[in-house]
Structure 1
């Protein structure tokens, strides 16, 4: 195998993973205030309420499908009695539905960014790069699924015999780039787009994916005003005493008992 292919299927994925791990640690240690979605809901919420759940639920099931297809060896599913035909149907059709949801949601989010001027002005350069790379990874994966798995015959392309073992060997530092030699170009483009997205992940708003608000349900209430009758009024500085009208001052003077009474 030539050096270019070794770089593509060994060096580049390792560099992307290293950039991801180091970038996440660096971002957490130096920019926790920037560890956020940079929500633009204040500018527009109608399209966001539709597109955001559609994209996030779709991408969640896409991710689950990737984990199942890439991490679980083919021999394991065969050992429990799941044939290749059944696996293909279970993986392809729900995966296509999830892909459609994710693609439509992302299109809605990008359309919202472009059309709404306030949202567009609040879009940073890193957001624009993120949307391009995210769109490329999602579009290439959806195209590969539809062209090779959904329309590529009753069995589709058996990526569990090539891409899956290649990726698992990559993670245990026993790279086998030769497994990617005969992989269709559609999947090759998707793999490269995916690792490119992984490399820039820590430097974009995508870091919010690792910030599940688990502590929100157990945090104490924020007390704005106490309902405890035993709590006395807070002494205010005289400089902040409100200016009363002349009528209020006369009423207060009339209600005050005289000293001679």
Structure 2
């Protein structure tokens, strides 16, 4: 970092990201090594099934789409995107994809949040970490959706400075050359969303989110499972002649 680290901005966007990532990786490794019996999703479907399937599907598909979109959009080198599209087109793509997947996750997550706090059976069997996790994820999601009007304002004015600044900042963190000055002038709503998103990585090892590491990718490549049923046709026994053996 070129400026003094002893400023709130530099601490939040130059030091805090590495604290979150360190806890994320080391904490996940330690939990898997020492507490494997807690490495699970703890589904609440057995406690209450209504709306669970539709809420879970909308939420998970939305979150996966958001994660992949952020990963590709922020980690892809700028020269690669420049060869495919302009910065403004990149920004419009982020707005459209973020709106679609964000609303999907918001719909499903709102139902899951409501169930977690209002369903008596689920609430009583939930740990404080379970409630805080879904609350914080939804807060991060809402802050992300609130960035869309600002992004629309920039895009309609053909101003791509915000999106390129975010890309440069994220890549500076990944390349171990933190440059918080890249995002010093962006809108506050983006900074709030970044802080909330980084905090998700910080709390990750201490919550049920660790089950993400165990996604069944092997299922996609496994061979088809052939299931054959053995059907035996029985003749109906005459109820008036129960003593006579049935002729099968």
> TM-score normalized by structure 2?
0.81
Q: Measured at CA, do residues 88 and 11 of structure 1 come closer, stay the same or move farther in structure 2, by a change above 3 Å? A: closer
**Correspondences of 1:43-54 after superposition (within 5 Å):** 43-54=47-58
Q: 1:167 aligns with which of 157, 170, 174?
A: 170
The residue aligned with 2:208 is: 205
Find the aligned partners of 1:46 and 1:110 in 2 and give their Cα distance: 14
Find the aligned partners of 2:162 and 2:73 in 1 and give their Cα distance: 8
The residue aligned with 1:96 is: 99
Find the aligned partners of 1:138 and 1:201 in 2 and give their Cα distance: 16
Render the CA deviation track for 1:30-69: whole Å, top value 9, x for unaligned.
Answer: 1111111111111111211110000000111111110121
The residue aligned with 1:69 is: 73
| Deviation of the 1:152 alpha carbon | 4.6
Q: Measured at CA, do residues 156 and 58 of structure 1 come closer, stay the same or move farther in structure 2, by a change above 3 Å? A: farther
Larger Cα Rg: Structure 1 or Structure 2? 1
Render the CA deviation track for 1:92-145: whole Å, top value 9, x for unaligned.
Answer: 112201100011111010111122111111111111221222122111111112
- Tell me whether 1:129 sits opposite 2:132 in the alignment: yes
Secondary structure in 1 aligned to 2:68?
helix
The residue aligned with 1:116 is: 119
The residue aligned with 1:14 is: 18
Secondary structure in 2 aligned to 1:33?
helix
Aligned residues: 219
Q: Measured at CA, do residues 185 and 96 of structure 1 come closer, stay the same or move farther in structure 2, by a change above 3 Å? A: same
Find the aligned partners of 2:219 and 2:73 in 1 and give their Cα distance: 33
The residue aligned with 1:149 is: 151
- Tell me whether 1:106 sits opposite 2:109 in the alignment: yes
| Deviation of the 1:151 alpha carbon | 4.8
> TM-score normalized by structure 1?
0.77
What are structure 2's unaligned runs of at least 5 residues? 231-248
Q: State which drifts further: 46-55 or 131-140.
A: 131-140
Q: Measured at CA, do residues 88 and 171 of structure 1 come closer, stay the same or move farther in structure 2, by a change above 3 Å? A: closer
